């Protein structure tokens, strides 16, 4: 768990929203420093520093305690977020560990004062946690494995060319949606990739679950569906030489079956 900051004093217990209103009132000429501090319940000296911009560590109504000062400016963090999202769009998403390393490198190369660990050359877990809170548009997701060929083929030029060809064919044939089909194949293993958690004796080093094979056996399923929502029965290819009737149990009506040594 990341180390969290624990308040040890009662400093800066004023409300951030109240400070913002007080600053606005003074700048608009509605009140003086003394009256604004009394009306909104904020320290007069703090209000005066923030209105005059003399507190180099404070920005408007933001409260920063002790050493808990941001390492990067809002602009720098915005650029870091943009870089993270850009890499994810290019199928090279960063893990939290990668981001912590990147934060350290960013601070070092730009001569930014920081308290990151120079032995591990990474930002701390607490910084990463606070960084995610400041940027809720970022979230942890499990990426889907995508081949380089598919990633290279999915670009604006290729997609535009596909839809141009589709429009040309549609203008000639004008097939209704229920006569436009898309077919795809997928592989399914007999062993699930992630097992559900089970109850076991505390302290036991290894807990197993029986499967058909430790690595599993891959079967191929061919699916075909129309743009109108209707579909034809699937076709399943098992990696075996002879077919067994029991393998057909529970399949949708009309499903086709075949066997092949490689599946």
79 with 128, same domain? yes
> Which of 163, 140, 220, 156 lies closest to 188 in space, CA to CA?
220
What is the pTM (predicted TM-score) of this model?
0.50
**Is-contact 238 259, C-beta < 8 A?**
yes
Counting every residue written for the chain, the total comes to 263
Share of the chain above pLDDT 70, in %: 79
d(CA 154, CA 148): 10
d(CA 173, CA 166): 11
pLDDT, position 240: 85
**What's the domain range around 127?**
74-134
Contacts of 260 (CB under 8 A, 6+ apart): 237, 238, 239
pLDDT, position 56: 52
> Which of 137, 118, 136, 115 lies closest to 126 in space, CA to CA?
115
127 with 50, same domain? no
pLDDT one-digit tens code per residue, 169-204? 888 888 888 988 999 988 877 666 666 666 556 676
182 bridge partner residues: 225
Answer yes or no: is 6 within a domain: no
Which pair of tokens denotes residue 43?
């320290």
Number of domains composing the chain: 4
183 with 170, same domain? no
d(CA 23, CA 248): 74
More confident residue, 90 or 126: 126
């Amino acid at each position: 768990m990341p180390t969290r900051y624990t308040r040890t004093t009662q400093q800066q217990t004023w409300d951030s929203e109240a400070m913002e209103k007080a600053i606005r009132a003074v700048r608009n000429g509605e009140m003086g420093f003394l009256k604004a501090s009394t009306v909104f319940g904020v320290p007069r000296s703090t209000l005066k520093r923030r209105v005059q911009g003399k507190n180099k560590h404070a920005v408007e109504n933001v409260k920063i305690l002790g050493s808990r000062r941001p390492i990067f400016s809002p602009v720098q963090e915005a650029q870091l977020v943009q870089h993270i999202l850009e890499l994810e769009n290019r199928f090279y998403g960063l893990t939290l560990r990668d981001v912590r390393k990147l934060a350290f490198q960013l601070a070092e190369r730009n001569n930014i004062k920081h308290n990151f660990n120079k032995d591990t050359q990474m930002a701390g877990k607490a910084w990463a946690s606070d960084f995610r809170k400041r940027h809720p548009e970022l979230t942890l997701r499990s990426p889907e494995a995508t081949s380089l060929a598919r990633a290279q083929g999915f670009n604006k030029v290729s997609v535009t060319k596909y839809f141009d060809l589709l429009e040309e064919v549609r203008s000639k044939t004008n097939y209704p949606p229920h006569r436009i089909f898309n077919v795809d194949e997928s592989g399914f293993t007999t062993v699930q990739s992630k097992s559900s958690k089970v109850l076991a004796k505390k302290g036991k080093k290894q807990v197993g679950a029986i499967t058909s094979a430790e690595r599993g056996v891959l079967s191929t399923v061919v699916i075909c569906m129309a743009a109108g929502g209707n579909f034809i029965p699937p076709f399943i290819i098992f990696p075996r030489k002879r077919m067994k009737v029991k393998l057909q149990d529970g399949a949708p009506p009309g499903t086709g079956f075949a066997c092949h040594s490689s599946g």
